[in-house]
């Protein structure tokens, strides 16, 4: 289920964890409300904040190391030629009246499930591929997408809480020079946390929007090049089942979905 911890993303993950705990330590060392509550024995908020940071780190590692839905090829696929891009893959001749399978020319996968894509970085096809995230050094796909969204939500909560804590730690000084000398470190942390909060907010908002439409980042950005979407209308999404059902299916329904059955359904009624 999990990839090697000491793989190519080891430095990225280490930097993320170090930065997270360094910022947390700075918030405790300065004269913020966390430190004041700790000194007066009011430990509820400090403990909750540390636990929330810990949860965010654990979710980060879970999403980063989890199998996003890799599809392993077998020896019978060696007959196919390398070097064909995902968007240019041929359609395998129909096996039934309404079902066609796609072939991947990179990892020699003969029958590539619909909505999957080959990741050049991970060197595997990924089910319901969304994107490859350099932040977690892993793909976001069918198996870890909901955990990625949950991680973004928890991380945003941590960042906003941390920004509030940093704001409470600024102290008064008669001059700007003295103020910067006194609050410079805390100001740098606040600016960094504010920037990260904006990034995470935009990421979370965009993912929730796409999930509500039952589409992925890859499908949204490369619609005109994807074989099963480029013939659809600009506002047509063959996988859209309505906002409620899309959100329910994404967060509450576990297991692999056969998207070919949804795509090739009879008539135009939503499934």
Catalytic residues: 133
CB 40 within 8 A of CB 146: no
- What integer pLDDT is reported at residue 263 of this predicted model? 81
CA angle 89, 91, 95 (to 5 degrees): 150
Alpha-helical (H) ranges within the chain are 10-29, 33-39, 44-65, 145-168, 176-213, 217-221, 243-252, 259-263
Distance, in Å, from the CA atom of 245 to the CA atom of 89, rounded to the nearest integer, reads 31
- What integer pLDDT is reported at residue 71 of this predicted model? 87
pTM of the model: 0.83
Using the structure block, give the residue that is written with the tokens 């966390």. Answer: 34
201-258: pLDDT as tens digits: 999 999 999 999 999 999 999 888 888 888 887 778 899 989 999 999 999 988 888 8
Distance, in Å, from the CA atom of 179 to the CA atom of 171, rounded to the nearest integer, reads 8
- What integer pLDDT is reported at residue 109 of this predicted model? 65
Domain limits of the chain? 10-69+133-213, 70-126
- What integer pLDDT is reported at residue 101 of this predicted model? 58
Of 237, 267, 271, 236, give the one whose Cα is nearest residue 257. Answer: 271
Contacts (Cβ under 8 Å, ≥6 apart) of 248: none
Extract the residue ranges of the chain whose pLDDT is less than 70. 1-8, 73-102, 108-110, 265-271
Contacts (Cβ under 8 Å, ≥6 apart) of 182: 171, 173
2-22: pLDDT as tens digits: 544 555 678 899 999 999 999
Strand partners, 120: none
């Amino acid at each position: 289920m999990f990839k090697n911890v000491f793989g190519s993303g080891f430095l990225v993950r280490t930097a993320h964890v170090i930065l997270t705990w360094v910022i947390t330590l700075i918030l405790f060392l300065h004269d913020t409300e966390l430190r004041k509550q700790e000194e007066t024995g009011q430990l509820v908020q400090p403990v909750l904040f540390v636990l929330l940071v810990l949860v965010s780190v654990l979710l980060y590692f879970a999403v980063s190391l989890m199998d996003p839905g890799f599809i392993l090829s077998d020896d019978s696929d060696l007959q196919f030629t390398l070097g064909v891009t995902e968007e240019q893959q041929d359609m395998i001749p129909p096996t039934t009246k309404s079902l066609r399978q796609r072939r991947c020319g990179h990892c020699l996968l003969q029958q590539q499930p619909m909505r999957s894509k080959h990741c050049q970085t991970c060197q595997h096809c990924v089910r319901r591929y969304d994107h490859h995230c350099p932040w977690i050094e892993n793909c976001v796909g069918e198996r870890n997408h909901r955990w990625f969204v949950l991680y973004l939500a928890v991380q945003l909560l941590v960042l906003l809480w941390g920004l509030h804590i940093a704001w409470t730690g600024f102290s008064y000084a008669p001059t700007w020079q003295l103020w910067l000398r006194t609050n410079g470190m805390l100001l740098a942390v606040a600016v960094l946390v504010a920037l990260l909060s904006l990034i995470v907010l935009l990421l979370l908002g965009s993912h929730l929007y796409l999930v509500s439409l039952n589409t992925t980042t890859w499908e949204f950005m490369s619609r005109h090049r994807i074989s099963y979407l480029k013939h659809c209308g600009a506002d047509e999404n063959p996988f859209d089942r309505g906002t409620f059902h899309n959100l329910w299916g994404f967060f509450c329904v576990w297991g692999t979905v056969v998207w070919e059955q949804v795509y090739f359904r009879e008539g135009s009624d939503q499934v």
